A = this chain, B = another copy of it.
Amino acid sequence: MESTKILLDESEIPQAWYNIQADLPEPMPPALHPGTREPIGPEDLAPLFPAALIEQEVSQERWIEIPDEVRSVYALWRPSPLYRARRLEKALKTPARIYYKWEGVSPSGSHKPNTAVAQAFYNREEGIKRIATETGAGQWGTALSFACGLFDLECMVYMVKISFDQKPYRKAIIETYGGTVVASPSTQTEAGRQILAQDPDSPGSLGIAISEAIEDAASREDTHYALGSVLNHVLLHQTVIGMEAELQLQKAGEALPDVAVGCFGGGSNFAGFAFPFMRHRLDHDKDDLRIVACEPASCPTLTKGEYRYDFGDAVGMTPLMPMHTLGHGFVPAPVHAGGLRYHGAAPLVSHLLQGNHLEAKAYQQLECFEAGVQFARSEGIVPAPEANHVIKGAVDEAIRCRETGEEQVIAFNLCGHGHFDMAAYAAYFAGDLEKHEFTGQMLDENMKELSELPTM
């Protein structure tokens, strides 16, 4: 019998995270203080994050040791399996060999606990009692609630209202893990109340929810803030995905992949999978190893955003970060891939895109669901709507190989299951998925707001 999945032992959970900052060809532009517009220092972040994470945010060390207590929680689901997608290959009649890393085996069903557990651990180590955060599709809020429970921390989640309404059962699972969740914009913060005053029916956005969570954390001594993507330390924690995948590909008898594909929202699942492979481009000049990021056409941060300084949140409380952005005032269309609706891109990924170390592609949700359903019917797993973007990207690469006859290795990161997103599948089968383009006019309008901000 041909093997279907490549498993690793618990002893093969990586001992250290891979910090790509050590290998950047050019240094990153610094983040700027939102008030002074000067480069921020650790003291500016101390009200929000524990010292260990602030250190990781700027560290230039290539390997950062994973604490034993974190690895021991990782062992509840890690190492995650790497699958050879034999049935999908057959369905696509492609000569390519397709592999996918399956992060949906985590308790909360996505890659998010990889960083949630680390963040909860470092906060507990520093004596923090409570963490406030935002969540888009709900994956991050669920993961942080799970992680906080294991480290005896309270967890307060501001959930983007459109997703809160679309996915009522996210509330139940966040509560099952012991967390608290409210729809954002909420009346619990000044930021939320401001937005509601302007638009009582606001569907919310990740930017708005971030503003609320930061305000909550900044206003309470016992509370820190946690972000589920974008920041360097978050991307760092996710690199366990790619490191395991690289080892698994070796065990499957493969060299490096020809193409590594990830879906792109804020950047963490993408980077977690891709950075360990990108190391071979940066360190060893393997320029033929292609790295592809797949984002929604309705929120095309990488493909249409401008590379410049912008705020991470909607109202301008965060440091200014150098990133590809659609403008911090942008409220994306309510497509079902809630986890990919964010106006900015992780600074690290943005920086690497500037250096042409990855390609970016944008897809409509309808074609993504088509690919996702084909995947479910071949491989069995029902993917999250976010993950359908990477499947669409991988399928496109496989079809290219069918046309050229190339026996390439395509590897992608299947970041989570769609069990809490079945309303989206129901909408797909009912023919109700809308097309949302992001236009040049929308970009121009959003960019007006940014005219006062420093440029690089």
Contact = CB atoms under 8 A, between A and B. Distances in A.
A394 interface: no
B376 A109 contact: no
A169 to B, nearest CB: 3
A169 B4 contact: no
A265 to B, nearest CB: 21
B1 A71 contact: yes
A4 B380 contact: no
B177 A75 contact: no
Interface string A1-14: 11111010111000
Contacts of A108: 380
Contacts of A218: none
Interface string A414-456: 0001011011011001000000000000000000000000000
Given A106-B380, A146-B380, A150-B380, 11 more contacts: A4-B76, A5-B10, A5-B76, A7-B9, A109-B419, A168-B426, A172-B422, A175-B429, A176-B373, A176-B429, A417-B419
A273 to B, nearest CB: 21
A51 interface: no
11 contacts: A1-B10, A4-B75, A5-B75, A106-B380, A107-B376, A146-B380, A169-B423, A171-B426, A172-B423, A176-B429, A178-B377
Contacts of A379: 76, 107
A173 to B, nearest CB: 6
A285 B414 CA distance: 48
Contacts of A98: none
Nearest to A69: B1
A149 interface: yes
Contacts of A381: 107
A75 B3 contact: yes
Given A172-B425, A176-B425, A7 B7 contact: yes
A382 interface: yes
A446 to B, nearest CB: 34
Contact of A10 (B3, B72, B380): B3
B4 A72 contact: yes
Contact of A376 (B1, B2, B176): B176
Given A1-B10, A10-B5, A68-B1, A426 B172 contact: yes
Contacts of A9: 7
Contacts of A2: 72
Interface in A1-51: 1-5, 7, 9-11
Given A380-B107, A419-B109, A172 B1 contact: no
A275 B203 CA distance: 53
Interface string A102-133: 00011111000000000000000000000000
A190 to B, nearest CB: 29
Nearest to A109: B419
A336 to B, nearest CB: 12
A182 to B, nearest CB: 15
A443 to B, nearest CB: 35
Contacts of A177: 376-377
A412 to B, nearest CB: 17
A235 to B, nearest CB: 23
Nearest to A83: B76
Interface in A132-181: 146, 149-150, 168-169, 171-173, 175-178
Given A380-B146, A382-B176, A105 B105 contact: yes
B107 A77 contact: no
5 shortest interchain CB distances as A-B pairs: A107-B380, A169-B422, A419-B419, A172-B422, A4-B75
Given A107-B381, A172-B426, A75 B1 contact: yes
A423 B168 CA distance: 9
A111 to B, nearest CB: 14
A11 B2 CA distance: 10
Nearest to A2: B72
Contacts of A7: 7, 9
Interface in A231-271: none
Contacts of A173: 382, 419, 422, 425
